[in-house]
Amino acid sequence: MYYQSNTAAALQFPYTAMSSEELTALYCRLSRDDELQGDSNSIVNQKKILEKYAREHGYSNFKFYVDDGISGTTFNRPGFQQMIADIEAGLVKRVIIKDMSRFGRDYLQVGMYTEIMFPEHDIHFIAVNDGVDSTQGDNEFMPFRNIINEWYAKDTSKKIRAVMKVKGNAGEHLTVLPPYGYMKSSDDKKQWVKDEEAAQVVYEIGLYIMDGLGPSQIARKLTERKILTPAAYYASKGRTTNVTKKGSPYAWDSSTIADIMDRWREYLGHTVNFKTRKKSYKSKKTLHNPESEWKIFDNTHEAIWTEAIADAARLARQTRRRPTKMGEMGMFSGMMFCADCGSIMYQCRATNFRRDQEYYLCSGYRKSRDVCGQTHSIRTVILEELVLQNLREI
């Protein structure tokens, strides 16, 4: 499966899929940490080494697969996944990399590909600088080299955590991107200043909250007024964002409003650090820390909301997710997402529904066909059986 990413792109040279000559995959990867070590690991340098090696050994039909700016601890990289897809399709017969650290820094995953998947697909695997060539038999030192590469990633993660802890305890902002309504100061990147246009929208959201409107109602108001969503607003300004929005640039989502309401402390001008954590450097899942572990620094930047607005937002969020007339919330509520558009899937049920008629439906499809063009749904009883079956297999 080929996963999409906003942080990197796979640079691929064209080739003829119908060519009778075997295709050689030349894989290159560079992370942000690797860039600190100079040009030796640069994409340009990797390409030169791999192309030179391929031509010297008569592998003229080659194709580059590139992941620039992605950590080796994850294998959810567009270039890598495209290469794996081509291998599974029978297009690739040989994989060449500069060294084992370019392939990845998770020794279990690396071993799964190099010792299980590649042999099963009869892939000729070469790591130029490490002297690895699968046609020459097993390389006894390769597993140890993979462990060393993972230790490097673990050590780097530990150092980054230590730096972030010092910064967080000193009151510096730990988030890369300020919340909607703020931007980094042009004079001092550590400071947040008001983004006047976005700050006005945040203030008006605060007024709606004071009027007793909930996230869905506020989202509907902003959509009717054709106010750009945060993602669309950043795009219009040519600024970086970690959120992509499909469909109409004015289609606000209730979850976006809820996130703004949850950040009422930041909109009062306070810095809040250590709200989240990750279990390990391998895990991409974000966990929420209890408020007792937060570090709050008062009046570090200009406020957008008044105390009255912040109190209204806090009270509104404290009373969220009240049970409906149907009783308890569904077992999978808040955990189901559409595989195509990423929208949350709502549970659909009614008092006249039988248990086997209840189902989950993509919220993106319900809102607009521009967001999701497919009517994705699954019956609750089928979902429960699939999850139970998966648990039994595990």
Query: What confidence category does residue 24 fall into, taking pLDDT thresholds of 50, 70 and 90?
Result: very high
Tell me the range of 4-13, 35-44, 69-78, 338-347 where mean pLDDT is highest. Answer: 69-78
Closest C-alpha to 67, from 107, 37, 38, 25: 25
Closest C-alpha to 77, from 152, 9, 127: 9
CA distance 278 to 272: 17
CA distance 196 to 203: 10
**pTM tops 0.75:** no
**Amino acid at residue number 103:** F
H helices of 121-141, in order, are none
- Residues 6 or more apart whose Cβ sits within 8 Å of residue 381: 355, 356, 358
Computed over its alpha carbons, how large is the radius of gyration of the chain? 25
Q: What is the pLDDT of residues 91-110, one digit of tens each?
A: 999 999 998 889 988 878 88
3-class DSSP state of 18: coil
Closest C-alpha to 2, from 80, 110, 103, 104: 80
Q: What is the pLDDT of residues 206-231, one digit of tens each?
A: 999 998 898 999 999 999 999 999 99
User: For 115, phi and psi rounded to 5 degrees?
Assistant: -105, -15
What token pair was written down for 57? 């050994």
Query: What confidence category does residue 325 fall into, taking pLDDT thresholds of 50, 70 and 90?
Result: low
Going along the chain, which residue ranges are E strands? 23-30, 62-68, 92-97, 124-127, 132-133, 182-184, 192-194, 271-273, 276-277, 287-288, 295-297, 345-348, 359-362, 377-379
Sign of the alpha-carbon torsion through 258, 199, 6, 106: negative
What token pair was written down for 318? 């404290």
Give me the mean pLDDT over the 324-341 stretch.
69
Q: Please, are residues 87 and 123 in contact by the beta-carbon 8 Å criterion?
A: yes
Q: Please, are residues 146 and 109 in contact by the beta-carbon 8 Å criterion?
A: no
